[in-house]
Amino acid sequence: MGNFKLLVRDIYVNTNLEVRLKSRTTKEEANKEVERIIDKKKIFEKYDWKIEGCEHGGINSFDNKLEDDIIERLEQDDTDENIFWDGFTAHYDLNVAHIPVSTNLEAQLKSCSKEDACTEVKKICAEKSLFEGYEWKIENCDEDGVNDLSETLKNKIIETIDKDVEACIEECA
């Protein structure tokens, strides 16, 4: 692999979210807490939501759309199946699957110079081969976190890159 990565900022991807609940006693209490969160409709107050597998969150925008999407999913699903005991921290975690989230995506490039990286990116965009031979993941996350590398997502990534190729290329730390 090269010394550069492709970084696409503020792109919507479907991913799984998780939040640490305050409940530490029973799963029944955790379920009641989730019901209160839904009823209050202020799900980001006092809760640290993050993309599953992302230690530092990974979410760019905690807006009304995200809140509505999470609440809609929680109302559709049986929350009991989405609450998990974390014995290591003695807390319950709530997982919410397949939610569209604004985040940053990155992929390691093969190039060792900025000029070669620009050429590489232009080529994979022109050929629409972004997902072939490149591992896309959410920036600064251990896991990939992206549920669906679709044609729609590919086109949005290309559209973003085409605005300013050089701004999307960063040297690896």
Task: Name the band, by pLDDT with cuts 50, 70 and 90, for residue 148.
Answer: confident
Examine the domain organization and report whether 98 and 108 are in the same domain.
no
Say what the pTM is.
0.87
- pLDDT tens digits along 93-128: 999 999 999 999 999 999 999 999 999 999 999 999
Give me the domain span that covers residue 164: 4-12+103-171
What is the predicted pLDDT for the residue at 64? Answer: 93
Residue 143 pLDDT greater than 90, yes or no: no
Count of structural domains within the chain: 2
Task: Tell how strand 83-86 and strand 50-51 pair up.
Answer: unpaired
Examine the domain organization and report whether 122 and 136 are in the same domain.
yes
> What are the beta bridge partners of residue 17?
51, 96
Between vectors from CA 145 to CA 86 and to CA 123, what angle results, nearest 5°? 165
Examine the domain organization and report whether 83 and 155 are in the same domain.
no
Lowest mean pLDDT of 15-29, 72-86, 110-124, name the range: 72-86
User: Hey, is 116 helix, strand or coil?
Assistant: helix
Q: Which of 85, 102, 119 is the last residue of a domain?
A: 102
Examine the domain organization and report whether 137 and 91 are in the same domain.
no
Examine the domain organization and report whether 84 and 30 are in the same domain.
yes
Mean pLDDT, residues 16-26: 90
* pLDDT, greater one: 143 or 23: 23
Residue 35 pLDDT greater than 80, yes or no: yes
